Amino acid sequence: MKTILFASLLTVFSVLAPLHQAHAQDGDKPVITPAPTVAVDEADLAPLTTRSHGISLYGDLKYGPDFHHFDYVNPDAPKGGTLVQSSIVAFDTLNPFTLKGNPAAGLGLIYDSLMVSSADEPYAMYGLIAHSIEVPDDRSYAIFHLDPRARFQDGSDITAEDVVFSYEVLVEKGSPVYRQYFSQIEGAEVIDELTVKFTFKPGNNRETPMTVAGISIMPKKFWEGKDFAKTTFEIPVGSGAYKVASIEAGRRITYERVKDYWAADLPVNRGQNNFNTIRYDTYLDMEVQRQAFLAGEYMIRSEHSSRDWNTAYNTPAVQRGDIQKEFMPDHLPTGMQAYVLNARNPLFADKRVRRALQYGLDFQWLNRAMFYGAYHRTDSFFANSELAATGIPTGAELALLEPYRDQLPERLFTEPYKLPNFDAPNGRREALRESMTLLNEAGWEVRDKVLVNKETGQPFRFELIIRQPGLEKIALVVKSRLKQLGVEMDIRLIDTGQWVNRIQAFDFEVTTHWWTQSLTPGNEQRVFWSSEAADQPGSRNFAGIKDPVVDAMIENVASADSWEELVAATHALDRVLLWGNYVIPQWYLGGDRMVWWNIFGRPDTVPLKGMSIMRWWIDPEKATKLQMGGF
């Protein structure tokens, strides 16, 4: 999954939404089968396995077993101060792992995993709670050896039983996303107090050991007697570098660094977790949120509006250098930001209809008139990377697609996928003509300037739900373009909490969404596009894709044995998704627009996966000058 570059952004497993007063709930104990203790002779395993301090998806590890710190951190970064960030919505739970409730921002800070990814390798992980991993050549299982020093925040030992509990409770009581993401895991078992074995289902499991290595580890004892599936304001006991210090319902959550954190000086942590306190303040309006930043109420933000990036920061603080403003480019896959057409709705079940609606987005005009020319058109589900399909399929990619030729559009094999370009000669006229032809073929016709179903006379009308006021102006442009097809689009602005609940339940016709991607796509593609995920509320298959060819392409991606195979498989998946016309692609920036108050120090080296605020630190001299940061 894509690494999120700044801690204030969302992860694939957590979504922010409104806060409603709640209380810790006691109830039935989660139904978790106790993990059996299995006697295993390690001598029998040794000839079959390789034991290492880390694991890489492809190729060798960059860092050896005795490395001191990652190259992209300052191992001597000073500790101290307070980092204040913002959240756009409130929260009603401190459990980020379930579908119920809206978790507080930053809860990932309180949990560690067995291993942790490096930011300057495409996909490699190094020991944290587990000091080493043991896998056979076929990666049919993984054995993790826990660090005997590992402790939870209450001082209790982290044991293999806690690891097994964490996996099983996520699968049985957590969000349905986990069941899909961990679908290749057969089971987990305790070998001894500090050794745990995960067995994988038959097939190519190259990525699965790393999937397991990323599980957040929770104390079994804390959750005994509690219903894991319910929302709660009871402060959880975690395994990470920070713990919840306080919450103010509807306003903020504060974390403090664990003073006796056992892993503070491990190589994977040196130079990171540099703030004594991290606080998230809640703002329910984006303009208020921006103004609060300019007033110094919080310290760093990512700006998503081209207009505001160009106009809202012409302030004395910026001119003095008190606020720093920088565009940070990257070469990471940006994924797909798009208007999502819910194919579960009969209105969008026909791919010809979905293709015709792409006429409604005049990207070239929008980019000139509203975006200051800042964006690129998203023409791939893996845009901004070599994983994006281009041209026509050849070589290894063609070999993957060939067995499904009779289930795919013939044009997929003979021409590149192209979106309407209204700036091309006669581009608007040709796009309109093609769209009307497709709609007629699909059973629709224009009567009195209204597109209606030929048989029933039903008008073609749908609702677009959005959660940001800034998106309404863009939607109005789309609405006017679709009007030329006889299509009526209603625009409804709703709050983020309602939006989250509706899309998780697939209760929408059209909305906007951004699927982020990583340098090494894998198991998460099942959550995004698989037929199984289409029927599972809480999955990220918002488009309702149910296509056996897509399912087959996903398996090719997940089972790729080399970088070359992964690229070919991802190209094939990308191409099949594009020709399915499930979305109206929007645009991407190719980096982050960041603004921050000038109180920070940061490492000189920018790694492959970009900057992270958790590698920055507060400079006492700068903070004192601006009277910010707790110094």
- Distance CA(511)–CA(467), nearest Å, equals 9
Helices (H) and strands (E) in the chain, counts: 19, 26
Model confidence at 540: pLDDT above 60: yes
Model confidence at 10: pLDDT above 50: no
Q: Is 20 left (phi over 0), alpha (psi -120 to 50) or beta?
A: beta
Q: Average pLDDT, whole number, for the chain?
A: 90
Model confidence at 31: pLDDT above 70: no
- pLDDT tens digit sequence for 430-444: 999 999 999 999 999
Rounded to two decimals, what is the model's pTM?
0.82
Model confidence at 5: pLDDT above 50: no
- Distance CA(444)–CA(460), nearest Å, equals 8
Model confidence at 20: pLDDT above 70: no
- Distance CA(462)–CA(346), nearest Å, equals 11
Strand partners, 324: 596
Alpha helices in 85-188 (DSSP H): 160-173, 176-181
| Percentage of the chain exceeding pLDDT 90 | 79
Model confidence at 405: pLDDT above 50: yes
At 249, the amino acid letter reads A
Model confidence at 288: pLDDT above 80: yes
Model confidence at 22: pLDDT above 50: no
- pLDDT tens digit sequence for 75-109: 999 999 999 999 987 899 999 999 888 899 999 99
Cβ neighbourhood burial of 410 (10 Å; 0-12, 13-18, 19+): exposed
Distances (CA, A) of 422 to 352, 356, 430, 483, 570: 19, 14, 9, 16, 29
Q: Which CATH architecture has domain 42-248?
A: 3-Layer(aba) Sandwich (3.40)
- Distance CA(601)–CA(271), nearest Å, equals 12
pLDDT: which is higher, 31 or 473: 473
- pLDDT tens digit sequence for 515-536: 999 888 998 999 999 999 999 9
134 in Cβ contact with 122 (< 8 Å) = no
Q: What is the pLDDT of residue 285?
A: 87
At 74, the amino acid letter reads N
Q: Which CATH architecture has domain 336-588?
A: Roll (3.10)
- pLDDT tens digit sequence for 232-263: 999 999 999 999 999 998 789 999 999 999 99
Delimit the domains of the chain by residue range: 42-248, 336-588
Strand partners, 253: 247, 280
- pLDDT tens digit sequence for 552-593: 999 999 989 899 999 999 999 999 999 999 999 999 998 899
From 57-61, 455-459, 553-557, the region with the lowest mean pLDDT: 57-61
